[in-house]
């Protein structure tokens, strides 16, 4: 299939591009390179650089490349920033997506795969999280993703758009061959920051909150390998052949891992000690988030290849140790 990967130069999008190629599809990348890296896109993959707000160009691209399905990864992803600068998130994550969807309808492209998030659930009443639980985001990042999910439902009814919205838990790791990995500026995620503390690029690692009602007092998260995420995106293609399909899936391993366990895994994989400083809780952090992904396992035959934090960290370290400054500027 000819697949437009919007945000294909970003962390998850670039891994998906490689999985698409491996599965015999033809990816085309659209990325404005605000946060993406041109070097993350393999040579030979058609690459276009413009904003989704340029709807005429999006529509033209969909037609000229004979796109049959669109995957949309392009979004800002910092929860804290979404609280201090909500308009940035409403315009980029929500308005830009509506432009993309309108261009798709104009070009007659009716299959869509959307990157949603466990942040749409807010603070869950029970764990693990299942797809049918109420969604009540506690920050604009989660709200913009939920708003898009709701727009997609309406478009499925009104226009027969078929879509899958994947609610990611904590994406982590890097491609097994070490070719591409995670490079955010600024970096706020626990695993890359732990590598920097292990290698001495940072003096220490702050652990945000040690008084949570969890076994070791630190937050529990569900880390899922970026290639496992990518494979689910491709496994859903068959189900999108049906007009008006409206699909929602959690993607996580279902295994809760504490921040202290992540740090221990990084120390073990890197063979280095991390200087840890106990710091206050970070605003907006629920104590525990982990997924029930049995729906994706059942309906998509989705199997997790990397079920534990150590194997995930090992792939991330392979890339990070070879690219300590990321893709470079």
For ligand UDP, the binding residues (CB under 6 A) are 79, 170, 188-190, 193, 205-208, 219, 221, 259, 282, 285
User: What distance lies between CA 39 and its chain's CA centroid?
Assistant: 19
Distance CA(90)–CA(75), nearest Å, equals: 10
From the candidates 11, 76, 121, 141, give the one annotated as an active-site residue.
Answer: 141
What values do phi and psi take at 55, rounded to 5?
-65, -35
Distance CA(297)–CA(314), nearest Å, equals: 24
Q: Closest residue to ligand UDP, Cβ-based?
A: 219
CB of 102 to ligand UDP, least distance (A): 30
**Closer of 17 and 205 to ligand UDP (Cβ):** 205
Which residues are registered as beta bridge partners of 26? 2
CB of 174 to ligand UDP, least distance (A): 15
**Closer of 245 and 262 to ligand UDP (Cβ):** 262
DSSP string, 161-204: -EEEEEEE-EEE---TTSS-----SS---HHHHHHHHHHTSSS-
Which of 195, 221, 224, 225 lies closest to 209, judged by CA?
221
CB of 246 to ligand UDP, least distance (A): 26
141 in active site: yes
What stretch of H or E contains 156?
A: helix 140-159
**Closer of 15 and 110 to ligand UDP (Cβ):** 15
**Closer of 64 and 123 to ligand UDP (Cβ):** 123
3-state secondary structure of 34: coil
What stretch of H or E contains 206?
A: strand 205-208
**Closer of 107 and 316 to ligand UDP (Cβ):** 316
CB of 20 to ligand UDP, least distance (A): 25
Q: What is the CA radius of gyration of the chain?
A: 19
CB of 293 to ligand UDP, least distance (A): 17
Alpha carbon distances (Å) from 123 to 132, 142, 259: 14, 11, 18
CB of 139 to ligand UDP, least distance (A): 10
**Closer of 176 and 206 to ligand UDP (Cβ):** 206
Distance CA(76)–CA(96), nearest Å, equals: 11
User: Is 124 in contact with 221 (CB distance < 8 Å)?
Assistant: no
Residues with a catalytic annotation lie at 141
């Amino acid at each position: 299939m000819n697949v437009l990967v919007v945000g294909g130069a970003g962390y998850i999008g670039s891994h998906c591009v490689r999985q698409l190629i491996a599965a015999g599809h033809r990816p085309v990348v659209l990325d404005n390179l605000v946060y993406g890296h041109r070097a993350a896109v393999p040579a030979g993959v058609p690459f276009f650089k413009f904003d989704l707000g340029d709807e005429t160009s999006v529509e033209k691209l969909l037609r000229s490349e004979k796109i049959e399905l669109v995957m949309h990864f392009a979004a800002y992803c910092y929860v804290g920033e979404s609280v201090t600068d909500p308009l940035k998130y409403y315009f980029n994550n929500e308005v830009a997506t509506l432009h993309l969807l309108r261009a798709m309808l104009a070009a007659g492209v009716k299959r869509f795969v959307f990157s949603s998030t466990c942040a749409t659930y807010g603070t869950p009443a029970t764990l693990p999280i299942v797809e049918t639980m109420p969604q009540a985001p506690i920050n604009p990042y989660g709200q913009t993703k939920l708003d898009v999910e709701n727009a997609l439902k309406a478009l499925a009814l009104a226009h027969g758009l078929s879509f899958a919205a994947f609610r990611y838990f904590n994406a982590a790791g890097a491609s097994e061959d070490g070719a591409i990995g995670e490079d955010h500026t600024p970096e706020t995620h626990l695993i890359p920051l732990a590598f920097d503390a292990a290698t001495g690029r940072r003096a220490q690692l702050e652990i945000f909150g040690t008084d949570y009602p969890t076994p070791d007092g630190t937050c529990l998260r569900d880390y899922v390998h970026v290639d496992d995420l990518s494979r689910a995106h491709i496994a859903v293609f068959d189900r999108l052949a049906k007009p008006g399909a409206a699909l929602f899936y959690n993607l996580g391993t279902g295994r809760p891992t504490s921040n202290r366990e992540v740090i221990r895994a990084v120390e073990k994989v890197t063979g280095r000690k991390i200087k840890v400083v106990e710091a206050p809780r970070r605003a907006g952090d629920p104590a525990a988030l982990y997924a029930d992904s049995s729906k994706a396992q059942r309906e998509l035959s989705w199997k997790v290849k990397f079920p534990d934090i150590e194997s995930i960290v090992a792939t991330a370290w392979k890339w990070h140790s070879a690219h300590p400054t990321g893709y470079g500027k």
